[in-house]
């Protein structure tokens, strides 16, 4: 996975085997603002919205200049939060939590990037990334994501532990957490990404560090030899209803 050809191959394997409607998304953090050929800096975007653009084929940059979501700006280390957010007043007024104290308790649990360390994050389709990303995110119906999660433990076994506050699932849960912990994470979505993007009610999100990409693609190919066709063929269910 040292060049774009490997990323394109992995993109193809993931998309075809899983039957994804949208390509996996490559995410990379930069410590400096950079001009990168082909990457746009769209005005006033939330982080979840640049993910939405990437899954539709766009190449986007997000910085302190164009980030529109104060919670994502805080999580990415771009800007300090406004008092209306950090106090818990704004999410409470939106009806997301029952009290400002509950919001503050949730915000205190959020992993965030060091303030000012990173100046820019890019998102694009995995197969079109001109550089090795830090994190891969997949937005999909749950069934394909189940196979990605199983592929992660296919060779080692064990359990996967997913963490979410049902708040900031795209910026924190599937991007920052996999980046900081170097572990896969998934969630159920949240108020923000479901209101602000075209993420369907039936879809959710999973992310993993780039170091896992080769392992996952290899294991998916093995799962696709027997387990996936049998499950997707509903063998046992068909036998049941044919009685």
Q: Has residue 228 been placed in a domain?
A: yes
Full residue range of the structural domain in which residue 223 is found: 4-81+110-241
Q: What pLDDT sits at residue 171?
A: 98
Structure tokens at 5: 């050809």
User: Which residues partner with 136 through β-bridges?
Assistant: 26, 208
Is 117 within the bounds of a domain? yes
What average pLDDT does range 201-211 have in this prediction? 97
In the predicted structure, residue 4 carries a pLDDT above the cut 80 = no
- Does some domain include residue 200? yes
pLDDT in tens, 121-169: 999 999 999 999 999 999 999 999 999 999 999 999 999 999 999 999 9
* Nearest by Cα to 123 from 195, 216, 199, 45: 45
Task: Quickly state the pLDDT bin for 3 (edges 50, 70, 90).
Answer: very low
Q: With a threshold of 0.85, does the pTM exceed it?
A: yes
pLDDT digits (tens, 9 = 90+) for 193-205: 999 999 999 999 9
The band of 2, judged by pLDDT with boundaries at 50, 70 and 90, is: very low
Per residue in 7-65, pLDDT (tens digit) is 999 999 999 999 999 999 999 999 999 999 999 999 999 999 999 999 999 999 999 99
Q: Answer yes or no: is 234 within a domain.
A: yes
Evaluate if residue 222 carries a pLDDT over 70: yes
Q: What is the pLDDT of residue 70?
A: 97
Classify strands 185-187 and 25-30 as parallel, antiparallel or unpaired.
unpaired
165 in a structural domain = yes
In tens, the pLDDT along 51-108 reads 999 999 999 999 999 999 999 999 999 999 999 999 999 999 999 999 999 999 999 9
| Local confidence band at 223 (pLDDT 50, 70, 90 cut-offs) | very high
Q: How many domains would you assign to the chain?
A: 1
Q: Which pLDDT does position 5 carry in this prediction?
A: 53
- 90 in a structural domain: no
Residue 125 φ then ψ, to 5°: -60, 140
**Residue 1: its pLDDT value, please?**
42
Q: According to the model, what pLDDT value does residue 210 have?
A: 97
Residues 6 or more apart whose Cβ sits within 8 Å of residue 199: 48, 52, 139, 189, 193, 205
> Does 184 map to a domain?
yes
For residue 184 the two structure tokens come to 């896969």
Whether 198 maps to a domain, the answer reads yes
């Amino acid at each position: 996975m040292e060049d774009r050809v490997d990323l394109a191959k992995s993109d193809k394997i993931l998309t075809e085997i899983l039957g994804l409607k949208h390509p996996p998304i490559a995410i990379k953090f930069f410590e400096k603002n950079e001009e990168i050929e082909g990457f746009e800096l769209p005005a006033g975007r939330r982080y979840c919205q640049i993910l939405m653009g990437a899954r539709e084929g766009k190449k986007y940059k997000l910085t302190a200049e164009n980030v529109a979501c104060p919670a994502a700006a805080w999580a990415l280390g771009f800007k300090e939060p406004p008092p209306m957010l950090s106090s818990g007043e704004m999410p409470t007024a939106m009806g997301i939590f029952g009290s400002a104290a509950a919001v503050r308790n949730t915000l205190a649990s959020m992993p965030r990037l060091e303030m000012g360390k990173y100046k820019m994050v890019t998102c694009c389709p995995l197969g079109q990334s001109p550089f090795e990303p830090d994190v891969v995110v997949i937005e999909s119906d749950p069934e394909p994501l189940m196979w990605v999660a199983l592929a992660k433990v296919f060779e080692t076994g064990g359990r996967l532990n997913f963490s979410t506050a049902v708040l900031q699932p795209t910026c924190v849960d599937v991007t920052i957490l996999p980046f900081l912990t170097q572990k896969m994470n998934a969630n159920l979505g949240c108020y923000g990404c479901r209101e602000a993007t075209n993420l369907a009610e039936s879809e959710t999100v999973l992310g993993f560090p780039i170091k896992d990409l080769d392992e996952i693609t290899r294991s998916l190919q093995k799962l696709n030899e027997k387990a996936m066709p049998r499950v997707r063929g509903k063998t046992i269910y068909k036998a049941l209803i044919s009685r």
